[in-house]
Amino acid sequence: MNVEVYSWEKIIEEGKARIIIPDPALFTRSDGKYEPAWAPVFYNPLMKLNRDLTVIITRTMYPSGGFFVEALGGSGVRGARLGVEAGMEGIINDVDPIAHYYIRRNIILNGLENRLEAYMHEANSLLNSLTFTGVFIDYIDLDPYGSPIPFIDSAVKPLAKKALLGVTATDTGPLTCSHPRKMLRRYGVRCTDVDFSKELGLRVLIYNLVYRASGQDVALYPILSYSYKYYYRVFFKTIRSSQACYELLEQCRGYIWYCRDNLARDYIREPGEIPRFSCRDPVVLGPLWICSIGDYGFTEDILSRGYEDIYRDGVEFVRSIRSDYLVNTPYYRYDMLFGRFKKNMPPIREFIDRIRDYGYKAYRSHFDPRGVKTDAPYEVLVEVVNAF
């Protein structure tokens, strides 16, 4: 069916989908940069990587398609891509009538009327009511403005017994402790400045989502998560099982102690377990997620599928983040470590090689260009630094 495209609109291509959006040229700042929040319907080209990964992961998990709900749909670009590129059926929802209008037209533009439906509900009320329909949902996507916390309780309810959940959080200010009061209010953590603030934020986010879902007997396992520019993204495999929830929290809920003066840190299960030798004035942060933030095996699976031809950036990105899943200790800012010991900083590669010479794992971290992930005990790290 034909869709009329007006003079103030444009058709853009993303992945294999075509999307009508209000002409970006009408919503640019004085420096010529497009400002998605000014447009009557939200389409952010900077989130293409986020959507590429959504397609890659749903295709990997559901090679013969499945049923999805995109609760916060905006222009409908993500849902349309799931329809066209992942062969899925589903619902694209948005409470805003203008967004709904674009979603409807974008479904038609891509010839997906038989597989996708546009809904116009408040996301929580839609997700809550879907719980009782008997529809098994394989994938739910939460892509809100800001924090996903207002939506997580209802999002886990309609998921099938085994399913997939994708969550974006753009409230990186509170999560990285730039707004400590908001961090406490929203995520229950009294935070302080740390050299691994980006990883702290992701671990606090993952824990909060897992904890709230487990209250409804849905266990969330992070299979791929990352920090990118101004947002976090986490994909979880989900299982409805009270026993799995108990085991997950028993194993993966914890705290981290941290010494501001010498950058020593480690995970503990309870706040009282800080070792006496740590430093003069350690701080304890948490509760947070103390297990791996992703599944290395799952990334192997993605990389073995030959997606490079279509999703080169997405595949490259997966390759660049997955070493963060091999070492659990939060990354050290190596510039701060060398500063602390008043040593001249070698090139980061040399530092990493030297740690490896001692027989430990060491990698660059996707969180920070100055970040080094290593499982070397703190004392070994100090020895390596002092040997330069």
Ligand X SMILES: C[S@@+](CC[C@H](N)C(=O)[O-])C[C@H]1O[C@@H](n2cnc3c(N)ncnc32)[C@H](O)[C@@H]1O
Footprint of ligand X (CB under 6 A): 42-43, 47, 51, 72-75, 77-78, 94-96, 99, 122-123, 143-145
Find the shortest distance in angstroms from Cβ 59 to ligand X. 17
In sequence order, the 6+-apart residues with CB closer than 8 A to the CB of 384 are 351, 354, 355, 358, 376
Residue 42 or 62: the one with the smaller Cβ distance to ligand X is: 42
If the CB atoms of residues 74 and 201 are measured against ligand X, the closer one turns out to be 74
Nearer to ligand X, 1 or 37 (CB): 37
Q: Which residues contact 242 (CB under 8 A, 6 or more apart)?
A: 217
Strand pairing report for 332-333 and 362-365: unpaired
Q: Smallest distance, Å, CB 71 to ligand X?
A: 6
CA distance 338 to 361: 19
DSSP string, 211-244: HHHHTTTEEEEEEEEEEETTEEEEEEEEEE-HHH
Comparison of 144 and 173: residue with beta carbon closer to ligand X: 144
- To ligand X, the closest distance from the beta carbon of 183 in angstroms equals 21
Instruction: State which residue, 99 or 285, has the beta carbon closest to ligand X.
Output: 99
Nearer to ligand X, 73 or 294 (CB): 73
Task: Provide the minimum distance between the beta carbon of 96 and ligand X in the complex, in angstroms, as a whole number.
Answer: 4
**C-beta of 164: minimal distance to ligand X in Å?**
16
Gyration radius of the chain over CA positions: 22
CB 284 within 8 A of CB 194: no
Question: Which residue's Cβ has the minimum distance to ligand X?
Answer: 74
Peptide bond into 287 cis (omega under 30): yes
Helices and strands (DSSP H and E) totals, the chain? 14, 15
3-class SS of residue 146 = coil
Query: Least separation, in Å, of the C-beta of 119 and ligand X?
Result: 9
Alpha-carbon dihedral 288, 292, 298, 304, rounded to 10 degrees: 130
Instruction: Output the smallest distance, CB 72 to ligand X, in A.
Output: 3
Residue 117 structure tokens: 């439906």
Task: Tell me the CA end-to-end span of the chain in Å, nearest whole number.
Answer: 68
* Cβ distance to ligand X smaller for residue 89 or 96: 96
Which C-beta is closer to ligand X: that of 52 or that of 324? 52
In the block, residue with structure tokens 């040593």: 343
8 alpha-carbon distance from chain centroid: 34
Report, in Å, the least distance between residue 15 CB and ligand X: 12
Q: CB-wise, 99 or 204, nearer to ligand X? A: 99
Cα–Cα distance measured from residue 70 to residue 79, given in angstroms and rounded to the nearest whole number: 6
Closest distance of CB 154 from ligand X, Å: 10
